[in-house]
């Protein structure tokens, strides 16, 4: 596991709860679109950006795997022994279980304490991969999402938009996990799903085909526009 994908916190300064609800930021996109890279940038930049209230902390987390239960589920979902690979419906329910635990034990308490949460993937990934990719009912997925999140939505979702061919090029030479190994047609449906979801859910698109520094600058600009004094 890469260090930047481990759940953790960064503080502007140690301190108590800030009194107002924190912000919930999510990065979404196809495999290899650059989420980890941008998470590493944002984890450095956000605490110095002036956006967090004094004393508020930044929590870095991810799905699946943002809690101890989630880490066990992540292993089952992405690297199961062959005989234990979940069918599509079980896969959907395991991602929902991971999210329910994550929201309840980590994300909601952090937001209520006035902290910010930066999450690598959230419910949009379930709609993209299990809905558009696997072809499971989007209506059922919405119901499960409502149950798992208790209605919690991101304050801002950054969609890293990258052509599938480029994501495959970036990931070449790296062992694929079970989801990534589901085939080209599946990944095309997922990529198409992300584009549809971005429109439906009003996500902020970032052109992920640019150099990493340019993507970082664009995301910092968006955050300042949205959450800065004039936002």
Where does this chain bind ligand T5A (CB under 6 A)?
31-37, 63-64, 78, 95, 120-121, 125-126, 129-130, 170, 179-180, 208, 211-212, 215
| C-beta closer to ligand T5A: residue 114 or 133 | 133
Give the shortest CB-32-to-ligand T5A separation in angstroms.
4
Nearer to ligand T5A, 56 or 92 (CB): 92
Most distant CA pair in the chain: distance in Å?
A: 55
Q: How far is the CB of 224 from ligand T5A (least distance, A)?
A: 20
Placement of tokens 């959450």 in the chain? 227
Cβ proximity to ligand T5A, 63 vs 161, nearer residue? 63
Measured from the CB of residue 231, what is the shortest distance to ligand T5A in angstroms?
25
Nearer CB in complex with ligand T5A: 65/114: 65
| Least distance from ligand T5A to the Cβ atom of residue 17, Å | 28
Between 170 and 201, CB nearer to ligand T5A: 170
Q: Which of 146, 153, 231, 161 is nearest to 196 (CA)?
A: 161
Q: Which is nearer to ligand T5A, 12 or 125 (CB)?
A: 125
Q: What is each CA distance from 170 to 62, 95, 189, in whole angstroms?
A: 21, 25, 19
Minimum distance of ligand T5A from residue 54's CB (angstroms): 31
User: Rounded to the nearest whole angstrom, what is the least distance from the CB of residue 95 to ligand T5A in the complex?
Assistant: 4
End-to-end CA distance of the chain: 35
């Amino acid at each position: 596991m890469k260090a930047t994908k481990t759940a953790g916190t960064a503080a502007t300064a140690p301190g108590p709860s800030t009194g107002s609800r924190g912000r919930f930021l999510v990065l979404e996109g196809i495999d290899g679109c650059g989420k980890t890279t941008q998470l590493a940038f944002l984890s450095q930049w956000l605490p110095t950006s002036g956006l967090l209230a004094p004393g508020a902390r930044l929590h870095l987390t991810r799905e699946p795997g943002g809690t101890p239960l989630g880490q066990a589920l992540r292993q089952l979902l992405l690297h199961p022994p062959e005989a234990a690979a979940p069918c599509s419906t079980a896969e959907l329910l395991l991602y929902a279980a991971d999210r329910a635990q994550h929201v309840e034990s980590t994300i909601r308490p952090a937001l209520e304490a006035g902290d910010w949460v930066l999450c690598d993937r959230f419910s949009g990934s379930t709609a993209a991969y299990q809905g558009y990719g696997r072809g499971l009912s989007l209506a059922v997925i919405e119901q499960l999402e409502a149950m798992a999140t208790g209605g919690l939505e991101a304050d801002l979702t950054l969609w890293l938009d990258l052509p599938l061919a480029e994501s495959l090029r970036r990931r070449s030479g790296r062992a694929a996990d079970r989801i990534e190994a589901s085939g080209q047609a599946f990944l095309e449906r997922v990529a198409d799903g992300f584009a549809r979801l971005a429109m439906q859910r009003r996500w902020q698109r970032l052109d992920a085909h640019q150099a990493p520094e340019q993507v970082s600058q664009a995301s910092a600009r968006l955050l300042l526009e949205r959450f800065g004094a004039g936002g």
